[in-house]
Amino acid sequence: MRLPPAVLASAEEVLREILRFMAPADTTLSRYFKDHPRLGGRERGAIAECVYAVLRNKNFFTEFSEPNGGATMRRLALLGLADAVGVDALPGLSPEETEWLQRMQAIDRSLLHKSLRTNMPKWLWEKLVEQYGEDEALQLADALNTPAPLDLRVNALKADRDKVIAQLAEAPIAAQPTPFAPLGLRVLKKPALQNLPLFKEGAIEVQDEGSQVLAQILGARRGEMVVDFCAGAGGKTLALGAQMRNTGRLYAFDVSEKRLAKLKPRLARSGLSNVHPVAIAHEKDAKIKRLAGKIDRVLVDAPCSGMGTLRRNPDVKWRQPADAIGEMHAKQVAILDGAARLVKAGGRLVYATCSLLNEENDAVAQQFVATHPDFELVPMHQVLAEQKIDLEMGDYLKLLPHKHHTDGFFAAVFQRKQMDKAAPAEEADD
Q: What is the mean pLDDT of residues 46-59?
A: 96
Q: What is the mean pLDDT of residues 10-29?
A: 96
Class of domain 208-416: alpha beta
Asked if residue 426 has pLDDT above 60, the reply is no
b/e map of 122-158 (b: 16 or more CB within 10 Å)? eebbebbbeebeeeebbebbbbbbeebbbbbbbbebb
Is 301 one of the annotated binding-site residues? yes
Provide the pLDDT for residue 192. 85
Residue 106 pLDDT class (50, 70, 90 cuts)? very high
Asked if residue 277 has pLDDT above 60, the reply is yes
Asked if residue 70 has pLDDT above 80, the reply is no
Residue 65 pLDDT class (50, 70, 90 cuts)? confident
Asked if residue 425 has pLDDT above 80, the reply is no
Model pLDDT for residues 151-198, shown as the tens digit of each residue: 999 999 999 999 999 999 999 999 999 999 999 999 988 888 988 999
Residue spans per domain, the chain? 5-118, 208-416
Asked if residue 412 has pLDDT above 50, the reply is yes
Q: What is the mean pLDDT of residues 74-80?
A: 95
Provide the pLDDT for residue 69. 47
Provide the pLDDT for residue 67. 59
Asked if residue 340 has pLDDT above 90, the reply is yes
Provide the pLDDT for residue 92. 86
Residue 427 pLDDT class (50, 70, 90 cuts)? very low
Mean of the per-residue pLDDT values of the chain: 93
Is residue 230 annotated as a catalytic residue, yes or no? no
Asked if residue 423 has pLDDT above 90, the reply is no
Which region among 50-54, 259-263, 361-365, 398-402 has the lowest average model confidence (pLDDT)? 259-263
Asked if residue 421 has pLDDT above 80, the reply is no
Provide the pLDDT for residue 353. 98
Q: What is the mean pLDDT of residues 137-141?
A: 97
pTM for the predicted model, two decimal places:
0.93
Active-site entry in 50, 230, 304, 354: 354
Q: What is the mean pLDDT of residues 199-215?
A: 96
Is 254 one of the annotated binding-site residues? yes
Provide the pLDDT for residue 115. 86
